[in-house]
Structure 1
């Protein structure tokens, strides 16, 4: 039977401001990408999400980012490699404290936003992320885009490299994500998201923004937690996957 992991970005609040419905999404997904305070999240939020994830048996991932709270980690930044590596390790370590306190651990690492897109092609920044992961825990899997420099360098460094696909993001014909500033970058039609999820899980293919059919072989499928109606959409995706004969389970 085909299997796939469902992950979502969670803990994306700060103080009294909350963006994601963490508790309800944790009843659907199998892996939680938890914001570690650099693009969103704070200590209390990280602790709460780790406790909820542990209660539900959901794997916890450190979603590391450029230091950019004001821009939600989606602004391009140039950070020296040594500094970026240290900041990646710092974020993983902060989340690990709360994961351990909840009786579990950080199971993987996933970059967020501008950093995620940067390490698809930028070898220096990708190498810095890998160095940061190794500094924190050299056994941690790294989640990223198929064919990215990040996953290539992670594999060379002995870190498990896990491929990821996006049900609600448009793809270029080259297999990269259409930048968020472009029209149609985010797929908003719920039925389209559900259909794309099944196609990605069962056949490893998706239709690009230009109409070309492309291969996207992935072990994990991302559903963005900040999408309007994210919880209901996640439920529909999981139900349709299971109805299609796909087993939904964590990769980590």
Structure 2
């Protein structure tokens, strides 16, 4: 092939490629976008509660320099604790609680130090005893029964009531509702901003979650009427679920 025609062919190919490259660069130019962040809060009335309580027994206090706790004393304390635990479970079952809704925790054993009786002729001495502790959790699916179950725990002689925690039987449904509410709020904000600026919303280009669901149970409250009457009225309040999203739209004139 002659040299001159080949050079002409090469030059023609380059001239043809330049407009195509220009079109590609123009197509890759970023389009204007509208970025919106929105948060939503959902107040949900709880439909489930968990009561937490503890039983414990102690061995007689002895001087720390003495031998370890008497095995018989430890066994007797444990037997007393198991008897009380069985009585507590019976009390709850009589109150209508299913066995599967009662969680009897593991037994824990720990030393306790208490001051010995003061004597005028000796220094103040510390004594040691062993405490056997067993926690209980009771799930309540009907909150109307809550006062009755608290009375049952009190009648069973629990040593400590560790409180009531409220929850939702279907957390996923509540989380989905909060997320949809946040997305709807984001779209409302975007449409409002677009109208104010005289532009139109295009396709959604990005959606992301900015806040994971946060459960914030409120403490139960007692009404003024209940305090005056002396009868407890338990109100769980609401569980607050918060959701946050970030959404981007293309915009045009």
Q: Specify the TM-score bucket, using the shorter chain as the normaliser.
A: under 0.3
Structure number with higher strand proportion: 2
TM-score (norm 2): 0.22
